[in-house]
Amino acid sequence: MGSNPAWPATHFTGDAVLERVRRRFSRQNKEFALTEKKENAIIRFYRETVGELRKVSWPTREEAVNLTKIVILVLIVMAIFLGAVDWVGGRLLDWALGIA
């Protein structure tokens, strides 16, 4: 594997890198950065939040009601299941310890 003359490394020379650094940190760029007005973080957060909420595909009222019913049903089923597991576990523990 040797060098590939079709891809010269001209943009990696020291002079080019120094020139880019000089341009980036030139006095003109520093003055621009000092005079540039920065946006308030709270205002920017609010504006970005509103923009993101406009992209959301909101469910219809009927979809929201149906999904709420499903969540409540799953909640009730899981509560009954976990209650039964707790009760059985308690009885097994009582039996194992000789309390009951």
Q: What are phi and psi of 5, to 5 degrees?
A: -65, -15
Residue 49 pLDDT exceeds 60 = yes
Residue 32 pLDDT exceeds 60 = no
pTM of the complete model: 0.48
Residue 39: pLDDT band with limits 50, 70, 90: confident
Length of the chain: 100
Give the pLDDT of residue 11.
Answer: 52
Residue 2: pLDDT band with limits 50, 70, 90: low
Average pLDDT, the chain: 82
